[in-house]
Amino acid sequence: MEKTETTIFVDWENLFFDLTAIQETDERLKEPNFNFNNPEQLLALIRSFLEPEEELKRIYFYVSEPFTEVEPRIKSNKKEELEEYKEKNPKEYEEKVNKSGIIQSFNHAIAQQNQVKLRVGRVKFKLVPENESEEVYSVEAKTHIPHLDLRQKQVDALLAHDITKLYCTKQGGCILLFSRDTDFVPVLEAA
């Protein structure tokens, strides 16, 4: 019996948050049993969703670039905002830079895996004011502390483009999508 070629599409940010939530409740997916920063373990988990009659064709893995890669492209007025943020929040900024290094290592490691194609979107930053309340002499004082919010961009567009391109040029096979985004429903129905 001939196996059905299956292409897997992974929106890593969505899957990452789901795995993080699952790790809090499922002992089998807690460290040291499972480390989702380990590409071999992560891909074994993803492949485990294939049915016996399916054969893996390729895994498209969608990530955003590390924050440190976006810094050189920041325009002047935003650059000033970021510099001010760095000065006022050195600890939080350092955490973002360290996390950026981890992301860069992960992206490189996952891209080296067999049958994986890494697709990289952009990351956009925004300084979001957060109120912090403190009571002093029975008077509530609020201070605005900026928080560096990072958002992935272009990942959904890349994913939709790849599904459309793949299944408009070559009919047949199956799609397995790891994402919580319902915007992909029309693309999947068309494929």
Helix-helix angle 90-111:39-47, to 10 degrees: 60
Range of the domain at 23: 4-190
pLDDT per position as a tens digit, 43-83: 999 999 999 999 999 999 999 887 776 666 777 777 788 88
pTM for this model (two decimals): 0.81
Q: Looking at residue 138, what is its pLDDT?
A: 62
Check which CATH number belongs to the domain holding 99 and give it: 3.40.50
Q: How many structural domains compose the chain?
A: 1
Q: What is the mean pLDDT of residues 87-92?
A: 87
* pLDDT exceeds cutoff 70 at 144: no
Burial class of residue 61, CB neighbours in 10 A (0-12, 13-18, 19+): buried
Gap between the Cα atoms of 89 and 27, Å rounded: 36
DSSP letters for 41-89: HHHHHHHTTS-TTEEEEEEEEEEE--HHHHGGG--HHHHHHHHHHHHH-
Gap between the Cα atoms of 98 and 103, Å rounded: 9
Which amino acid, residue 35? N
At residue 5 the predicted structure's pLDDT band, cuts being 50, 70 and 90, is very high
